[in-house]
Structure 1
Amino acid sequence: MHPVRIQILEILRSGEACVCHIEATFGLRQAYVSQQLAVLRKAGLTSDRRDGPNIYYQIVRREVLDLLDMARAAVGEDEPWQPLPAG
């Protein structure tokens, strides 16, 4: 899976997040973040809801987090992957 998509799932691990929050966390263009979110939504891993001008995403297939945790354990990582530094 794409590293940015993994990091988006890590952000959503603690609950829903606005696209604007995800965009600010990565320091990436909104269009690029939205493209990655669309892939996750099409795969059935996330869903979204609109609240005025903002779109909020949440994980609907929580078992994907178990897979991420198992992958991290397999490579010897203890902590969830953190967002890439902006810039």
Structure 2
Amino acid sequence: MAIPLYQAKAEFFRMLGHPVRIRVLELLQSGPTPVRDLLRAIEVEPSALSQQLAVLRRSGLVRSTREGSTVVYALAGGDVAELLRAARRILTELLAGRSELLIELREAEVRTP
């Protein structure tokens, strides 16, 4: 029996529900990125990043390629970037009264395409 669409959507959003995964997706909006650069930008233990990258890879949101000894990650499609932009717009509206978070969201928008 197929799972209902609303349940599939809930599972999708649960999969996105980790700060490291969201940060990886944000960073990958700029283009393919080596793991070493993701580690430097996110500042987590390599094993923690590896675990979160595996979740994103299994979900089909990112793809990886090997260039020599370097593993490079990229978004699997443009819809992920659009989803992140939509989330930023929604949060901006919801947090309009919370100026500190709003400033952080706007700064992130300037840094991220």
Q: Same fold (TM over 0.5)?
A: yes
SS at match of 2:74: strand
Segments of structure 1 that go 5 or more residues without pairing to the other structure are 83-87
Identity in percent: 36
Segments of structure 2 that go 5 or more residues without pairing to the other structure are 1-16, 93-104
Q: Deviations over 1:20-47 (max 9, x none)?
A: 1111112211111111111111010110
Count of residue correspondences: 81
Q: Greater RCO between the two (CA within 8 Å, min separation 6)?
A: 1
TM-score by length of 1: 0.84
**1:61 to partner: Cα distance:** 2.2
Runs of 4+ in 1 over 3 A off after TM superposition: 77-80
**1:49 to partner: Cα distance:** 0.6
**1:68 to partner: Cα distance:** 1.1
Alignment check: 8 A CA contact 1:44 1:61 kept = no
Amino acid at match of 1:16: P
TM-score by length of 2: 0.66
